[in-house]
Each structure stands twice: as structure tokens, then as C-alpha cells.
């Protein structure tokens, strides 16, 4: 069974179309990223999936349940970490987790065990009995991640999990998410390219409410640009073997676009001698900027 299925989803706010005919599927156990600039429709998509907003058109299934017709079954199977804090600030960290565990109907023994586990995971055990209103932004976010995972949801939704956090806290949150990878399907939105690249198995790129690309981060990258300087004979050999990759040639040099440069170089050296070469690696960012422009 697919963890999430989205079919031709449309959401209008008045005259404004926030999502325009979006479709994708998320496999079970996968970390799936929705990448896009601000206002691309990422959060709106997530809010429909977690049953906070109702779609204008189209259908969406989470854990096999229709988000419109079986909203309560969807809610039983998901955990959510929101962009802005949704903690009860007048409660301690432990009370927040306890409230959550009770909402999800966990038994007392189970509650106590999981709360300890999750507090340890996000390294907040020494702050467990402090009021959340005294917490820094990073601590609050860590507590929210602990809470999102507390009831062992089948699918965890993370909306911009590291937005506005400093580099150190960000690394920590990435570490927690990587540790939790595999125990649940994870769907996250982000506008940080390196975050999508580091955490996600697959990503969709959204822009102005539409999906503009969907693949693994590696495949989404553009080709690397390789320039080779060599003798005429060697260049002829290169042209013979890699002709399809060549984009331009000049006296004593050829320029190629290569998808997988790591395996290309050994092959190149088997074929011809190279005097000098330069490689310009493309990044996911280059590909991304091209897509959302």
C-alpha cells in the first residue's frame, strides 16, 4: 500500500489558486520531500493531507484513507510537526508530551516509556520539567519533533522542520530525522535545497502551485560540465567514444555534459590520454533555480 496518494489536487482561496492539479505518490518507508520557494503551495498541500484544510477538487489518501471522507482514520495514523510552534506554553515539556499521548489514547505504561525515549532522543531530558515558555526556538522545535513521533505514527508530516534555526540546531534536527528514518514514512516540506538533498529519498519541486519536477535528488541535478584539453588524436578518440555527450569543440579542446562524472572519468582514461581537464559540478541548487524561475 502507498503511504500517500494525491490525485489532481486543487485548492482555491477565493480567486487565488494555491494548488493547481497536483498529483504524486509516496512509498511506504520513504522520506519524501516537497521543495519549493515561499508561496509555492507546499504547506497548503500538507494541510490538506493532515485534514486541516479541505480540497477544492481532486482526491488525497493517507495511509489508505480518504482525507475528506475518513478524516478521523487519517488522523489516527499520522503525526505532524508544524512550521510554527503548537506547544502549550504554560505546560512543561513532559506535560506537553503527556497531553499528546493521552489524546492518542496511549496506556500509562506506554506513555511513560515513550516519553522518556523521545526526551532522550531530542536531548531534552534535563529540561523535561521546565515550562515550555522558557524554551528557545530550537528547543521548542526539538520538543515538537519528539511529540510528533511519540505515538509511533505510520506517517510523519514535517512542515519546514528547520525554518529559522541556527546551523547547529539544524544539524541536530537532521540527525534526529535520520535516526527516525525507517520507523515511519516521512513527508517533509522545505525551501532549503541542502535539506532536501541530505534527508530525502525522493523530492517533488513545486512552484506557483504546480509540480515542476519529481525524482531523487541525484537525478534532479543537471549534468556536470567537463572540458578536456588534449592532442588531436586523443580528441578524435574521445569524439568517437563519447560523441553524444559533446556540446562544443575547439582547437585542442572539447566540452562535454556528463550525468555521472564519477564513472565517466575512469572510462575516459581507458580511451584516451588527457593533458588537462576541468570539471564544473552542477548542484541541485542550479537545477532547482532553473526549474522555479
Say whether residue 100 binds other proteins (CB under 8 A): yes
Span near other proteins by CB under 8 A; candidates 98-106, 167-175, 190-198, 241-249: 98-106
Q: Applying CB under 8 A, what is the total number of residues that bind other proteins?
A: 28
| Contacts (Cβ under 8 Å, ≥6 apart) of 32 | 4, 26, 185, 186, 187, 188, 200, 201, 202, 203, 204
Say whether residue 264 binds other proteins (CB under 8 A): no
Asked if 36 and 206 touch (Cβ cutoff 8 Å), the reply is yes
Single residue of 27, 28, 103, 171 touching other proteins by CB under 8 A: 103
Q: Nearest-CA neighbor of 201 among 191, 211, 214?
A: 214
Q: Any idea what DSSP says for residue 145?
A: H
Single residue of 3, 9, 53, 122 touching other proteins by CB under 8 A: 53
Shortest spacing between CB 176 and other proteins, in angstroms: 19
Say whether residue 47 binds other proteins (CB under 8 A): yes
Say whether residue 82 binds other proteins (CB under 8 A): yes
Q: Phi and psi of 87, rounded to 5°?
A: -85, 155
Span near other proteins by CB under 8 A; candidates 88-96, 116-124, 173-181, 216-224: 88-96
Report the sign of the C-alpha dihedral through residues 130, 133, 139, 145, in that order.
Answer: positive
- Please state, as a whole number, how many other Cβ atoms lie within 10 Å of the Cβ of residue 52: 13
Single residue of 59, 91, 110, 198 touching other proteins by CB under 8 A: 91
Pairwise CA distance, residues 221 & 262, whole Å: 14
Span near other proteins by CB under 8 A; candidates 25-33, 101-109, 208-216, 225-233: 101-109
Span near other proteins by CB under 8 A; candidates 91-99, 249-257, 272-280, 282-290: 91-99
Say whether residue 50 binds other proteins (CB under 8 A): yes
Single residue of 8, 29, 57, 84 touching other proteins by CB under 8 A: 84
Single residue of 57, 89, 216, 240 touching other proteins by CB under 8 A: 89
Say whether residue 26 binds other proteins (CB under 8 A): no
Pairwise CA distance, residues 247 & 152, whole Å: 51
Span near other proteins by CB under 8 A; candidates 2-10, 77-85, 211-219, 261-269: 77-85
Asked if 18 and 174 touch (Cβ cutoff 8 Å), the reply is no
Pairwise CA distance, residues 185 & 197, whole Å: 17
Q: Between residue 57 and residue 76, which ones bind other proteins under the rule CB under 8 A?
A: 72, 75-76
**Residue placing its CB nearer to other proteins in the complex, 99 or 229:** 99
Q: How far apart are the first and last CA of the chain?
A: 35
**Strand arrangement of the beta sheet that strand 65-66 belongs to:** 16-26, 4-13, 57-62, 65-66
Single residue of 8, 27, 29, 90 touching other proteins by CB under 8 A: 90
Distances (CA, A) of 264 to 39, 252, 260, 267, 275: 39, 20, 6, 5, 16
Say whether residue 164 binds other proteins (CB under 8 A): no
Say whether residue 186 binds other proteins (CB under 8 A): no
Residues forming contacts to other proteins in the complex (CB under 8 A) are 47, 50-54, 72, 75-76, 78, 80, 82, 84-91, 95, 99-100, 102-105, 147
Amino acid at each position: 500500500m502507498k503511504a500517500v496518494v494525491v490525485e489532481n489536487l486543487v485548492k482555491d482561496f477565493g480567486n487565488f489558486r494555491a494548488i493547481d492539479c497536483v498529483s504524486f505518490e509516496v512509498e511506504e518507508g520513504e522520506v519524501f520531500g516537497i521543495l519549493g520557494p515561499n508561496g509555492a503551495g507546499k504547506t497548503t498541500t500538507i494541510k490538506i493531507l493532515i485534514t486541516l484544510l479541505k480540497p477544492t477538487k481532486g482526491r488525497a489518501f493517507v495511509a489508505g484513507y480518504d482525507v475528506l471522507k475518513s478524516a478521523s482514520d487519517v488522523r489516527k495514523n499520522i503525526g505532524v510537526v508544524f512550521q510554527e510552534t503548537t506547544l502549550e506554553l504554560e505546560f512543561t515539556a513532559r506535560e506537553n508530551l503527556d497531553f499528546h499521548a493521552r489524546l492518542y489514547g496511549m496506556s500509562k505504561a506506554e506513555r511513560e516509556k515513550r516519553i522518556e525515549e523521545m526526551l532522550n532522543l531530542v536531548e531534552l531530558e534535563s529540561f523535561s520539567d521546565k515550562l515550555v515558555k522558557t524554551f528557545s526556538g530550537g528547543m521548542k522545535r526539538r520538543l515538537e519533533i519528539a511529540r510528533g513521533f511519540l505515538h509511533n505514527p505510520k506517517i510523519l508530516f514535517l512542515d519546514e522542520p528547520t525554518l529559522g534555526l541556527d546551523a547547529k540546531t539544524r544539524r541536530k534536527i537532521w540527525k534526529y530525522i535520520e535516526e527516525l528514518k525507517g520507523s515511519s514514512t516521512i513527508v517533509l516540506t522545505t525551501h532549503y535545497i541542502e535539506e532536501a538533498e541530505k534527508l530525502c529519498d525522493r523530492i517533488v519541486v513545486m512552484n506557483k502551485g504546480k509540480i515542476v519536477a519529481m525524482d531523487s535528488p541525484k537525478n534532479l541535478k543537471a549534468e556536470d560540465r567537463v572540458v578536456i584539453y588534449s592532442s588531436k588524436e586523443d580528441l578524435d578518440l574521445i569524439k568517437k567514444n563519447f560523441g553524444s555527450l559533446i556540446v562544443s569543440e575547439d582547437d585542442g579542446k572539447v566540452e562535454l555534459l556528463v550525468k555521472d562524472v564519477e564513472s565517466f572519468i575512469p572510462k575516459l582514461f581507458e580511451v584516451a590520454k588527457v593533458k588537462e581537464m576541468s570539471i564544473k559540478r552542477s548542484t541541485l541548487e542550479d537545477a532547482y533555480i532553473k526549474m522555479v524561475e
